[in-house]
Amino acid sequence: METRRIRLREVEKRDFPILFSWRNTEKFRFFFHHNENVINYDMFCDEFTMDATVRQFQFVIEKTNTNELIGLTFIHSFSVVNNHCFLNLFLKEPFERKGYGVDAFILFCRFLFNTAEIKKVYAEAFSYNALSIACMRHSGMTEIKGLTKKKLHLGNEYNILRFSCDTAILQKWANVEEKLLRQRLP
């Protein structure tokens, strides 16, 4: 799956050193992963392998013009009965605020809606994670009001915000589809 700027591809063993370099950053531990501890490379390999067994789809985000890895995305809590899932997305800091998160989100959702038969996608962000919240809003997700989930972070309690979108968002994206997706000739 790719756009003019990024591609989503399956994680390969050769990606592990880069993924490990991200894993122990504060951003990854406090915004993205369930385990906030710093770990060594062997522990990372075990952790990543175990995490991969519970994730239906997991892709690295790669710049198309340089093949540089710039992020990671996956779904969790996939419900076959209700056809919904939760989406997580991580970007390296130099690629934030440049539209790569929105591109990756839209590309992944299009895949989930059109190929994996998902009907609704959820995403969550801690109230202190302004970049993720902006990405979700710019991609067209709607905040679900009234949730009372909280997280303790560095001694302070923060709200967990939940957003959602369903297949109706595809119509909203249709207006920008020509700009987003690379034209493929037969």
Q: What is the pLDDT of residues 82-101, one digit of tens each?
A: 889 999 899 999 999 898 98
Q: What is the mean pLDDT of residues 37-62?
A: 91
- Give pLDDT tens digits for 120-162: 999 998 888 888 898 888 888 899 987 777 776 677 788 889 9
List beta partners, residue 70.
Answer: none
Separation of alpha carbons 26 and 46, rounded Å: 20
pTM above 0.85, yes or no: no
DSSP secondary structure letter of residue 24: T
- Domain range annotation of the chain: 6-180
- Side-chain half-sphere exposure of 77, counting CA atoms within 13 A: 10
For the domain made up of 6-180, the CATH class stated in words is alpha beta
For residue 46, CA distances in Å to 8, 10, 49, 53, 74 come to 23, 18, 5, 11, 17
**pLDDT at position 130:** 86
Whether 58 has a pLDDT exceeding 80, the answer reads yes
Query: Which of 30-34, 40-44, 94-98, 149-153 is least confident?
Result: 149-153
